[in-house]
Amino acid sequence: MTTLLEATGLKRFYKVGSGRKRGMLHALDGVDLAIGTGESVGLVGESGCGKSTLARVLARLVEPTAGSLRFKGEDIAAIPLARFITSPLRARIQMVFQDPTESLNPHFTVGDAIADPIRRLRGAADKNDLDRRVRAALAMVGLPDNLIGRYPHQLSGGQKARVGIARAVAVEPELLILDEPTSALDVSVQAVVLKLLADLRARLGMSYVFVSHDLDVVRLLCERVVVMYLGEVIETAPTEALFEGPAHPYTRALLAAIPDPHRRGQHPPRLDGSPRSPIDPDPGVCQFYGRCPRGQPVCAQSRPPLRPVGAGHLAACHFAGHPA
């Protein structure tokens, strides 16, 4: 598999506070990540762990503070945001947002919403050509033609989610970044959208970065999972390997928290407390220290780097690979 997008040492800091309370919030604190052509990568972690920031940096919507972002070998992080908008690469990376209601312009009809990116990013020969492409995009996500003149408020949640997907795939991206695309949907509709996404990827050969807090959904849709904690990747592995043998204590806690009817009456150990402050973190302490059930003195003395613990399986823990 060739690498489509490779992020190295990606950082994104935000200034917070003022005066003596001024600090730097480390939303992304040195993320290395490679996404293969046609690969589907799931990005999971608690709220505030930086997964949405990473998705936006990868989509080139947020400027990284440091680090490089190579798309097919070209460093796109070096292209200023303002110029990237008109770059031919803009169409190559597209994003589907979390809330389909919030992310559609209420004054745009379905047709306008899909036509707009096509016109701006790919260009159309004439009106007929544009119309043909809009209809093709609608057909691709299984929406009937007669919705073309409707406004978002006239659509159901599932239909809006599909318009959001149609608008992104209409410009034939190679990488689609999906930020919790089904979290606002009912389970019956979620199933339809998930199946559509799996089908589109198989047909169009796109790569996916799928951000989600629902590990079950990631298990069904992704080949590889990346687990984030406080702005860092703490574990990455092929999906099956991760679910079968999580190496990082945080990943273990995350998996143990997935509701499971077969676990009725048992009480697996739970992860309590909240993460450390992301403001000016101590680079010499493991970010999970203090909350970690396995914490040892060494964890407070050095931050563990990601290291291999199996085939394609990396984990950032001093004790990864050792049985719990």
Tell whether residue 81 is a contact of another protein (CB under 8 A). no
* Binding of residue 144 to another protein (CB under 8 A): no
DSSP secondary structure letters along 140-175? HTT--GGGTT--GGGS-HHHHHHHHHHHHHTT--SE
DSSP summary character for residue 264: T
- CA-CA distance, 29 to 316, in Å (whole number)? 13
Taking CB under 8 A as the rule, which mask of x and - marks residues 145-174 in contact with another protein?
Answer: -----------x------------------
Which residue, chain included where needed, has tokens 């034939």? 172
Q: Does 271 bind another protein (CB under 8 A)?
A: yes
Q: How far apart are CA 170 and CA 201, in angstroms?
A: 13
Looking at beta carbons only, is 39 or 59 nearer to another protein? 39
- Residue among 186 and 244 whose Cβ is closer to another protein: 186
Least separation in angstroms between CB 10 and another protein: 23
Q: How far is the CB of 268 from another protein (least distance, A)?
A: 8
Q: CB under 8 A: which stretch of 29-37, 120-128, 137-145, 261-269 binds another protein?
A: 261-269
- Member of 106, 259, 297, 323 binding another protein (CB under 8 A): 259
User: Among 234, 255, 257, which Cα is nearest to 309's?
Assistant: 234
- Token pair 């809006």 is found at 160
Please report, as residue ranges, which positions from 209 to 248 form the binding site for another protein (by CB under 8 A): 213-217, 219-221
Tokens of 176: 């689609």
- Binding status of residue 74 toward another protein by CB under 8 A: no
Indicate the pairing of strand 66-71 with strand 3-16. Answer: antiparallel
Q: Which is nearer to another protein, 34 or 256 (CB)?
A: 256
Q: For residues 78 and 257, which CB has a smaller minimum distance to another protein in the complex?
A: 257
Q: Closest approach of Cβ 255 to another protein, in Å?
A: 9
Whether 163 contacts 196, CB under 8 Å? no
Contact 32, 9 (CB under 8 A): yes
The DSSP bridge partners found for residue 66 are 11
Amino acid at 74: E
Q: Which stretch binds another protein (CB under 8 A): 67-75, 169-177, 241-249, 253-261?
A: 253-261
Q: Kindly state the number of chain residues that form the binding site for another protein, as judged by CB under 8 A.
A: 37
Single-letter residue type at 285: V
Summarize as ranges the residues that interact with another protein (CB under 8 A). 46-47, 156, 186-192, 194-195, 198, 213-217, 219-221, 253-254, 256-261, 263-264, 267, 270-274
